[in-house]
Amino acid sequence: MIVLQLIFVFIGVLFFTGIIAFTLLLNGAIHYLTLLFVLSISFFLLYTFLLLDWFKTKKRKVVVSTIIGVAVLIASIAPIQYHYKMSMATVDAEIDAYAYEPFVDHNKVVKNDTKASLQLKDPLPRLDGATAMYPLYAAFVEATYPKKEYPYYDSEVKVSRTPEAYQNLISGDVDVIFAAAPSESQIKIAEINGLTFEMTPIGREAFVFFVHHKNNVENLSLEQIKQIYAGEITNWREVGGANDSIRAFQRPADSGSQTTLEKMMGDTALMEAPAEDVASGMGGIIHEVSQYRNYKNAIGFTFRYYSTEMVGNKEIQLLSIDGIAPTKENIRNGTYPLTSEFYAVTTGTDNPNVKQFIDWIVSPEGQALVEKVGYVPVESF
């Protein structure tokens, strides 16, 4: 009878553990699995010992309690570490795209002071671009497109991350994208599809590196940056900081900032990025490069406008490079060493309005709007 009861309880524990484990996988909470299994096993063992009246002495109770307590404590380390990490701010936080959707009441889109000389009609150029570019081309849209709804997820004016935007351009789903220069793999994919990227510079931006605001390192040389990302400099004390290892974060391949980092490194080999397993979707596990989290020993990178205007995280500080701060003035005069252009990119669209739209963007009128949004124009006016 006792054996049957134990079998029944075992099956019950196994069943409910399986359901909870499946739910945790669906929600990406794999860090709780070990703790779940430890708790399930502990419950079954306690039930068995009680049923068999095994706890007859105080010593047995102490031994079992200690073993279970230690096991639960060890199994709790992963969830505690996860929640500690998640409590830290991320610089690559997602913005509220709806806040920049054109013609929406009380949006954050920068307005032209006067009516633009260009007023487009159908067929409207289909646009897409990097997240950091959305406030800019949303301003172009409000200035030159007819007033109507342009949902950022399904309209003539969409917003994606850089890899998706380039893919949408290659597949012909959009006419123009606004982004940093393409990666080598994106260029090759275009060539395979018989396409060539036509890139029109429309503004300048600073590629910036940042650290925790309590890090006393405020400046690095370009060579030190390269050595850090090559894995040759591994401790902050090597560059005048505290005795702490450097946690140098990277971004996913083909993203605009990762491509810029790779170009900056030149012939210097880029070290393998810190990575973590991240649960996604229906329990699938993908291997994804970590987003920057504000560890006190970390260094990350992005573009100036995104970090200062869109995210505005006060827990970080932007580094000077070779003694030059990444200000708009230093981008404009060319003294900041990591300044790059961003582009309106096409692949030979047959939309008749695309050329006049891009021509307007690089005109004094369009470049004035680039300045007003917060970027540095590529043309003086």
| Strand stretches in the chain, DSSP E | 127-129, 176-179, 198-212, 219-220, 247-248, 275-280, 284-289, 298-303, 316-318, 320-321, 339-346, 376-377
Question: Closest Cα to residue 241, out of 221, 259, 207, 217?
Answer: 217
Q: Domain total for the chain?
A: 2
Average pLDDT over residues 202-230: 91
**Stronger pLDDT, 150 or 57, i.e. the higher one:** 150
- For the ranges 38-42, 189-193, 237-241, 286-290, which has the lowest average pLDDT? 286-290
Q: Measured between alpha carbons, how far is 177 from 167 in angstroms, rounded to an integer?
A: 10
- H-type alpha helices, 299-363: 304-305, 328-332, 353-361
Q: How many CA atoms does the CB half-sphere of 137 hold within 13 Å?
A: 29
Question: Closest Cα to residue 179, out of 291, 258, 110, 112?
Answer: 258
**Stronger pLDDT, 282 or 173, i.e. the higher one:** 173
Specify whether the backbone of 334 is left (phi greater than 0), alpha (psi in -120 to 50) or beta: left
Q: Do 168 and 60 fall within a single domain?
A: no
Tokens for 258? 């990762």
Listed residues 86, 112, 130: the one ending a domain: 86
Whether 161 and 120 have beta carbons less than 8 Å apart is answered as no
Report pLDDT for 121: 93
**Which stretch, 39-43, 64-68, 90-94, 344-348, has highest mean pLDDT?**
344-348
Q: Do 187 and 227 fall within a single domain?
A: yes
Asked if residue 120 has pLDDT above 60, the reply is: yes
Q: Do 26 and 167 fall within a single domain?
A: no
Listed residues 59, 86, 113: the one ending a domain: 86
At 364, give phi and psi (nearest 5°). Answer: -55, -35
For residue 123, how many other CB atoms are within 10 A of its CB? 13
Listed residues 55, 86, 117: the one ending a domain: 86
String of DSSP letters for 155-169:
SSB----HHHHHHHH
Asked if residue 344 has pLDDT above 70, the reply is: yes
On the 0-12 / 13-18 / 19+ scale of CB atoms within 10 A, 271 is middle
Q: Is 324 helix (H, G, I), strand (E, B) or coil?
A: strand
Whether 360 and 354 have beta carbons less than 8 Å apart is answered as no
Whether 163 and 179 have beta carbons less than 8 Å apart is answered as no
Q: Find the CATH number of the domain harbouring 139.
A: 3.40.190.10
pTM across the whole model: 0.66
Q: Do 153 and 68 fall within a single domain?
A: no
Report pLDDT for 367: 94
Report pLDDT for 102: 95
248 forms bridges with which residues in the sheet? 299
Q: Measuring CA to CA, how many Å separate 97 from each of 160, 301, 337, 363, 371?
A: 10, 21, 31, 27, 21
Q: Which residues of 239-266 are buried (b: 16+ CB within 10 A; e: fewer)?
A: bebeeeebbbbbbeebbbbbbbbbebee
- For the ranges 89-98, 106-115, 290-299, 344-353, which has the lowest average pLDDT? 89-98
**Stronger pLDDT, 113 or 315, i.e. the higher one:** 113
Tokens for 177? 């994208």
Q: Band of the pLDDT at 293, cuts 50, 70, 90?
A: low
Q: Measured between alpha carbons, how far is 239 from 232 in angstroms, rounded to an integer?
A: 12
**Stronger pLDDT, 166 or 316, i.e. the higher one:** 166
Q: Do 8 and 130 fall within a single domain?
A: no
Q: Do 81 and 138 fall within a single domain?
A: no
Q: Do 96 and 65 fall within a single domain?
A: no
Report pLDDT for 31: 78
Report pLDDT for 288: 31
Give the chain's mean pLDDT: 83
Q: Is 321 helix (H, G, I), strand (E, B) or coil?
A: strand
Q: In this predicted model, what pLDDT tens digit does every residue of 125-146 receive, in sequence order?
A: 999 998 888 999 999 999 999 9
Report pLDDT for 202: 95
Average pLDDT over residues 273-277: 50
Report pLDDT for 93: 45
Average pLDDT over residues 171-185: 93
Question: Closest Cα to residue 302, out of 360, 313, 148, 1?
Answer: 313
Q: Do 325 and 284 fall within a single domain?
A: yes
Q: Do 62 and 115 fall within a single domain?
A: no
Q: Do 51 and 107 fall within a single domain?
A: no
Report pLDDT for 87: 59
First to last CA, the chain: 92
Asked if residue 278 has pLDDT above 50, the reply is: no
Asked if residue 374 has pLDDT above 80, the reply is: yes
Q: Do 55 and 143 fall within a single domain?
A: no
- The CA-based angle 168-109-339, given to 5 degrees, is 65
**Stronger pLDDT, 39 or 83, i.e. the higher one:** 39
Q: Band of the pLDDT at 307, cuts 50, 70, 90?
A: low
Q: Measuring CA to CA, how many Å separate 75 from each of 24, 30, 145?
A: 15, 12, 57
Q: Do 247 and 171 fall within a single domain?
A: yes
Report pLDDT for 233: 93
Q: In this predicted model, what pLDDT tens digit does every residue of 2-18 receive, in sequence order?
A: 778 778 878 888 888 88
Q: In this predicted model, what pLDDT tens digit does every residue of 17-65 receive, in sequence order?
A: 888 888 888 877 787 888 888 888 888 888 888 877 787 788 888 888 8
Average pLDDT over residues 163-182: 93
Q: Which domain holds residue 75?
A: 2-86
**Stronger pLDDT, 299 or 377, i.e. the higher one:** 377
